[in-house]
Amino acid sequence: MNMMIGYGAILLFTLLVVVVMNRSKRGDSSLSEYATGGRSFNSFFGTMAFLNTWIAGTVFIAFAGLTASAGVIGFYSLSYSLLSVVLMFFLGTPVNKWGRIHDLRTQADLLGLRYNSRTVRVIAAIIGVVASIPWVVLGMQSLGLVFSTLSFGAVSPYLAVVIGVLFIAARQIWTVRLGTRGLIISDMVQGLFAYGIGFLLILGLLVWLFTNGHGFGEVSPALLLLPGPDSPAGPLYLFSLMFTGMMGAWCWPDLFVRMFSVRTPRTVQKSAVQAAPIMLLFSGALTTACLLASSVPGVADAPDTVWFTLAGVGGAVGIAVAGVCVVAATMGNVGANLQAVGTQVVNDVIGGRGRERVESSKGAKIAVAVITAISAGAALLMANQVSGLIAIAFVSYQAVCQLAPTLLLGIFWRRGTAAAATASMVTGTLTAAVLEIMYPSPLSIPWLGGLTSGVAGLIVNLAVYLAVSLIKPAPAAEQQRVNTLFDDLKRTPNIQPAPHTADDHASA
């Protein structure tokens, strides 16, 4: 009976999401429409799309487990998440306006425009794809814990992972068919449940914790300490975690799609203002609950299950609601990643080498389907790994943050060049990769005072970018092109996308 409640709740919620998505279906024969949803959404849709992409299902499992086992260091994710919202506010104008004027579809598309380089565009797309796929695998695997828990012992952990992978892979049928428009419509439903109903559940769990002898006084003193100067991880370890998260925040390809899909730069900024308090309340409450739960019997032995252990106080219904929250958040993150990655493969990796832009959405749909199958296969191969999933998240951040200097300096500084962008992304990624092999995440690098491989790569990355840009500045014609690009930001919006070929922003 309990299993029917748990699995039935997932089925009913999934049917609701599918019905809502199908009712929103519109034409998406062009790749631009498929990738951006027609650039038509208001700020509330933008807010929920951002939250459902950023606050993935793994926050209930991997990040919750980190807080339950390691303590207040788990709050680092909240701090860099709020910083990412601030960055979203300032990125809104250039990203949305350039996207509308030049019909940009992806993050790599924007970098190809800014640097007038196919090479930059392709390298950025490859980094984004390689960094995003582990999060897809992570989301698929995390559902294994959901289906195992909701079976109440009737399904083995391995079979539960298989069910979770097959479930989320089947869900992507609608991601393939409907593209960004369908994703953002579904984000509204998924976000309202994951962070609305989920927040109410967290408040109830906090009341239970405080009234049943699990307040702050019962938390182990060791869990209330942050890594300091004398920490074995190194004095710069906590800084590295936060800095990597902050720099990598808006390097994720799926988040850039959110800024392309809303109506105006002002809409992006309104979404950022709306998202900040929701993120603060939800993430702060969840992390606090997981910290207090460290004194609950059984949590220390299986910290990744802390969310379900707490929800168990509400019986089968409480666990079922908790499971739907994880599924709702996972749907948004996995779907957004797959759609963005598939579009970048077709638009930027394959299309970036041609002279004509890809206009049909058919290739992107095929790419999303193929990447879904590959990710599902990888998740199944690692099905026995049901704990410690936080390490995958750490590794992917070390990679994606290597886009930060090229991306952020390119958007806010006119003097960056294509040669600088290419050299910095390559050297930064290679540095981070070598150090990651030597000191696998979440380990730090002792001889660098606790820096992680990603931050070490960023230091090299930034140094190369600045050096090449200053030593070999852009030719006069290229600098004039960049100046015109930036001057476009000062003009009144409401500009229709201009037709162009790949050479408009992708000449080598």
Whether 80 contacts 246, CB under 8 Å? yes
Whether 145 contacts 325, CB under 8 Å? no
Partners of 30 in the β-ladder = 360
Distance, CA of 224 to chain centre: 28
Whether 132 contacts 254, CB under 8 Å? yes
pLDDT at residue 499, as a whole number = 42
For 118-145, letters b (16+ CB in 10 Å) and e give: bbbbbbbbbbbbebbbbbbbbbbbbbbb
pLDDT digits (tens, 9 = 90+) for 319-368: 999 999 999 999 988 888 888 888 888 888 887 665 567 777 778 888 88
User: Mean pLDDT, to the nearest integer, of 246-251?
Assistant: 82
Q: Which residue has the higher pLDDT, 60 or 35?
A: 60
- Report how far apart the first and last C-alpha atoms of the chain are (Å, whole number): 62
User: Mean pLDDT, to the nearest integer, of 285-308?
Assistant: 94
pLDDT of 389 higher than 70: no
pTM, two decimals, is: 0.87
Q: Which residue has the higher pLDDT, 109 or 393?
A: 109
pLDDT digits (tens, 9 = 90+) for 115-157: 999 999 999 999 999 888 888 888 887 788 899 999 998 988 8
* pLDDT, averaged across the chain: 87
Three-state DSSP at 343 gives: helix
Give 429's pLDDT tier (boundaries 50, 70, 90). Answer: very high
* Distance of alpha carbon 110 from alpha carbon 485, whole angstroms: 12
Secondary structure percentages of the chain, helix, strand, coil, to 5: 80, 0, 20
For 38-61, letters b (16+ CB in 10 Å) and e give: bbebebebbbbbbbbbbbbbbbbb
Q: Residue 179: phi, psi to the nearest 5?
A: 65, -155
Q: Which domains does the chain have, with CATH numbers?
A: 2-504 (1.20.1730.10)
User: Mean pLDDT, to the nearest integer, of 361-382?
Assistant: 83
pLDDT of 434 higher than 80: yes
pLDDT of 29 higher than 80: no
For residue 229, give Cα distances in angstroms to 67, 69, 136, 234, 497.
21, 21, 35, 7, 52
| Residues of the chain above pLDDT 70, percent | 92
